[in-house]
């Protein structure tokens, strides 16, 4: 057993009641899916991944992404490479739209949200998770050039050597106030907005780093007064009728 697995078993074991971030995010998606077998749009679907596979258990999943690798995603009923904020679907096509770590790459949040609102049916939901700009990882990333992210991000997460390089980030809708402001302009109501700190994904290159970040997780989860410093925003936006 690796040291990462040993520390996960001690600090973040499901047998001890810990719920990981992905499990919690998937439960949020399932909760707001209005009907079994409905139509889902995954925005920023990318190549085959666990989010796409989970969404395919809820309904028929279609994907859009600027990366041509979306064409290799085996969970999608259709995959479309996009070059702007326009999606190749009719109005009111989908019951649910989902993004997992995509919003931080979006330069124009209002255009992004308005296009999602266009393809959602009335009352449909947009569920996303994205980094909180005030967390130490996003704060560092927002003030450093992209080449630094390429050099460090995958190494700090102990990703495989053939893992995709991180995409450029802009963090234009990565605070609670920014989400609420842009959602209002795009015609969404904020149904759920939670600041979430889970097991550290960065720091897996070193036990000392991992334990330091785990101590931070324990601290910001100890009180709601520190919620604004948690790593992720988990959000459900509801399209107004």
CATH number for the domain harbouring residue 133: 3.40.50.150
Does residue 111 have a pLDDT over 80? Answer: yes
Please give the average per-residue pLDDT across 84-102, as a whole number: 97
pLDDT tens figures, 150-194: 676 667 676 677 677 777 899 999 999 999 999 999 999 999 999
DSSP state of 225: G
Residue in this structure with the two tokens 């889902």, named with its chain if needed = 40
Query: Region 52-56: what's the mean pLDDT?
Result: 98
pLDDT band at residue 233 using 50, 70 and 90 as cut-offs: very high
Degrees to nearest 5, angle at CA 199 with 15 and 6: 60
Alpha carbon 60 to its chain centroid, in Å, reads 20
Confidence (pTM): 0.93
For residues 28 and 84, give the distance between their C-alpha atoms in angstroms, rounded to a whole number: 28
Domain count, the chain: 1
pLDDT at 36: 83
Containing structural domain, residue 146: 3-239
pLDDT of 228 over the 70 cut: yes
Pairing label, strands 232-239, 188-196: antiparallel
Provide the pLDDT for residue 156: 65
Strand order in the sheet with 232-239: 78-81, 59-65, 38-43, 94-100, 120-131, 232-239, 188-196
Per-residue pLDDT band at 147 (split at 50, 70, 90): confident
Average pLDDT over residues 53-63: 98
Residue 37: its pLDDT value, please?
87
What pLDDT is stored for residue 180 in this prediction?
98
pLDDT of 154 = 66
Within the chain, residue ranges assigned H as helices are: 3-11, 21-32, 50-55, 109-119, 136-142, 146-156, 176-186, 207-220
């Amino acid at each position: 057993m690796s040291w990462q697995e040993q520390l996960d078993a001690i600090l973040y074991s499901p047998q001890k009641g810990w719920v990981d971030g992905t499990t919690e995010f998937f439960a949020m998606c399932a909760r707001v899916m209005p009907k079994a077998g409905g139509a889902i749009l995954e925005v920023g679907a990318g190549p085959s991944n666990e989010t796409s596979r989970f969404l395919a258990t809820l309904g028929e999943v279609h994907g859009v992404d600027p990366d041509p690798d979306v064409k290799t995603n085996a969970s999608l009923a259709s995959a479309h490479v996009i070059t702007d904020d326009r999606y190749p679907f009719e109005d009111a096509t989908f019951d649910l739209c989902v993004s997992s770590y995509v919003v931080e790459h979006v330069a124009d949040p209002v255009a992004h949200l308005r296009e999602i609102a266009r393809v959602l049916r009335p009352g449909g939901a947009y569920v996303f998770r994205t980094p909180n700009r005030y967390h130490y990882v996003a704060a560092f990333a927002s003030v450093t050039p992209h080449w630094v992210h390429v050099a460090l991000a995958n190494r700090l997460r102990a990703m495989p050597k053939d893992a995709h390089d991180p995409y450029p980030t802009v963090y234009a809708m990565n605070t609670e106030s920014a989400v609420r402001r842009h959602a209002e302009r795009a015609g969404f109501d904020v149904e759920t907005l939670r600041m979430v700190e889970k097991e550290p994904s960065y720091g897996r290159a070193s036990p000392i780093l991992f334990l330091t970040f785990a101590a931070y997780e324990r601290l910001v989860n100890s009180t709601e007064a520190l919620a604004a410093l948690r790593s992720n925003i988990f959000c459900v936006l509801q399209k107004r009728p």
